[in-house]
Homo-oligomer: A and B are copies of this chain.
Amino acid sequence: MPVEETFAKLCLSGAPPSDSHAVKSLVFKPKTAKTATPIPIVVVALQSTTTPSPLIAQVTSLKDPRLARDELFKTFFNCNSAKEFTLAYLPNATSEFKLLMDSNLAQLDGSSDLQLNDTLFIKKSELCKYLTPFESSRQVVDFSQEVKKEEPKKKAPKDKKSATTTPSQSALDDAKLIGITVDKSKDFPGWYSQVLTKGEMMDYYDVSGCYILRPPSYAIWENIQRWFDERIKGLGVQNAYFPMFVSSRVLEKEKDHVEGFAPEVAWVTKAGSSDLEEPIAIRPTSETVMYPYYSKWIQSHRDLPLKLNQWNSVVRWEFKHPQPFLRTREFLWQEGHTAFLTSEEAQEEVLQILDYYAGVYEELLAVPVIKGKKTEKEKFAGGDFTTTVEGYIPQTGRGIQGATSHHLGQNFSKMFNLSVENPKGKDEPRVFAYQNSWGLSTRVIGVMVMVHSDNKGLVIPPRVSQFQAVVIPVGITKKTNDEQRQHIHDSAKDVESRLKKAGIRAFGDYNDNYTPGWKFSQYELKGIPIRIELGPKDIEQGHVTVVRRNDSRKYTVKLEELEDRIPEILDEFHDALFNKAKELFDTHRVIVNEWEGFVPALNKKNVILAPWCGVMECEEDIKDSSAKKDDGEELEQDDKSPSMGAKSLCIPFDQPDLKTGQKCVKCDRDAINYCMFGRSY
């Protein structure tokens, strides 16, 4: 068939690419009067995207679209059947049709490989070119959006009571629709996307790899900022702001360093309608932005130490699969950049900052981490050594880098001439400053969500949650009279205001249009740490019922003890989250001394502590060897990287005892220490 052939020319020849995105093309037929010609709807979507017909109806304004039968394919596309249909048939169309493109697909880079109908491979950019003639009928659709429902049919309530006591059925339907519909243990990426969007932490954005931080996640970031900022200021660090733009000349000054970032740098080349004289980069990190000025400002050893930090956003145009919080093209972070006269001072600070990073994870986010040093292969390009906190995602058994604190030694100071006269005297050689840089990003929020949240929605640790407690009046029935209802509401509002006065981030939900049950689900979805129920019986007995989000554990708290007990309950909640996560990490961090145990342990979702020789080639060998599917065990089905090899995560500061003469887990060299390996993000 000639049509098929033309299309095939666009497609890739040779071996199929290893990490292509499966794409489906579906055709829907809307309900149409028998006398009218139907307008078919062609949907091009990632295999993993569900494309509900009510949503298709909404975005096309066509009625009741159903998957088309073979007949339509014949008359309309001159194609034998739905099964045979591919996008190659589009030019055959006998009349108008609509073309919906999945926003997940639209967001992919042009260079992404797509797999169409199992057999054809094509670059996304080529597909877009191919679809250009159909531009006018084309529409990009976010299939994850909720179907806009009609407003709940709120019959103008003649009797106010009945309106308040019997929430409309549609509200209950809402509750089902807005809940999480994917199981964390079965479809982890799908679950992650749902808890984030339905919990209203984040939304997808129409520029690929960029996401919207909605108030609940931004508030978490603000709480982290407050905690960390106070501590670094205590060390004498001052905040500053450097421009987001870097000239190419400056960016490229430190060659090793820029090599690591160059492929991901975004370039501004135009302003208004004028081309810039030379392209200007958006900072991927600020070493080269800042250090020329450090060199200018530091004129004498009395100008040291210089300790600056900035809270900003940086851009790394990664071409790997983006993931909210974990891998995004723009992200918020802090970057500290310090310069010292002596190596000792600098190294002391590197570790102090690492302790604070561990504190952010463990004391705020209730996520256990392991502190250690990166191997030479994994360290920051251009630095002397990198220290890191490493976390663990139980569901996938993968390690995740939490935050890093780098000792740069004198590499950058020599490059940027950041030097001072030797305090020992003019005849001694000039001293180049010893530098550190350290950064913690909004990635921490993604790790927190992955570790704690569940099939009911988000679980947010109380110390960072935007709100810590929601007060909900309960026990209002048809028999409750106005006065009683008022009394319950007033009592609940009193509880709310007492909690706020005590410094607890509390709010109340007194909306009579929803049942308490509906509210419970809502705030479970959003991860509010505790809910405080107050009904007639509670009031009678002078207490409230407190239910914590993670395990629905109930507490009865006497009204007079509110201000004392609620903070305690929040702390217990924090500890419970941390301990559960720690137990999972501890039991999935196993010592493996012999290679034959390595891959099987990995496949059981463990990270591994193994004796290691410290040689870079051996590290690469471990990665390659653990990536093969050559062992008998069934491999974990991880969507992105089914046979991902194990990387070194860190050399933990806290080391198991190394026996004398212990060999490396992989080669026959002597081990020099234990290294933590794992599949990772």
Contacts and interface: CB of A to CB of B under 8 A. Distances in A.
Interface of A: 110-111, 125, 128, 142, 145-146, 148-152, 156, 203, 205-207, 210-215, 218-219, 221-222, 238-247, 249-250, 262-274, 276-277, 279-280, 282, 292-293, 296-297, 299-302, 308, 312-313, 315, 317, 319, 329-330, 332, 420-421, 425-426, 466, 511
9 contacts: A210-B245, A218-B238, A218-B239, A219-B238, A263-B273, A264-B271, A266-B270, A269-B269, A271-B317
Nearest to A261: B272
A271 B109 CA distance: 11
A269 B271 contact: no
Contact of A271 (B145, B156, B267): B267
Contacts of A330: 243-245
Given A210-B245, A262-B272, A280-B207, A148 B299 contact: yes
A205 B282 contact: no
Contacts of A296: 142, 145, 203
A125 B214 contact: no
Contacts of A425: 156
Contact of A146 (B110, B151, B299): B299
A156 B206 CA distance: 65
A277 B243 contact: no
Give the most central of A148, A149, A271, A308: most B CB within 10 Å. A271
Nearest to A242: B212
Given A151-B420, A244-B313, 16 more contacts: A111-B274, A146-B299, A150-B421, A207-B280, A212-B243, A213-B242, A214-B240, A215-B239, A218-B238, A218-B239, A221-B241, A222-B239, A245-B329, A263-B273, A270-B279, A271-B319
A267 B266 contact: no
A308 B277 CA distance: 37
A219 to B, nearest CB: 7
A210 to B, nearest CB: 4
A122 to B, nearest CB: 15
Contacts of A319: 271-272
A221 B111 CA distance: 42
A245 B207 contact: yes
Nearest to A332: B241
A204 B151 CA distance: 55
A191 to B, nearest CB: 21
A263 B272 CA distance: 4
B266 A271 contact: yes
A41 B322 CA distance: 52
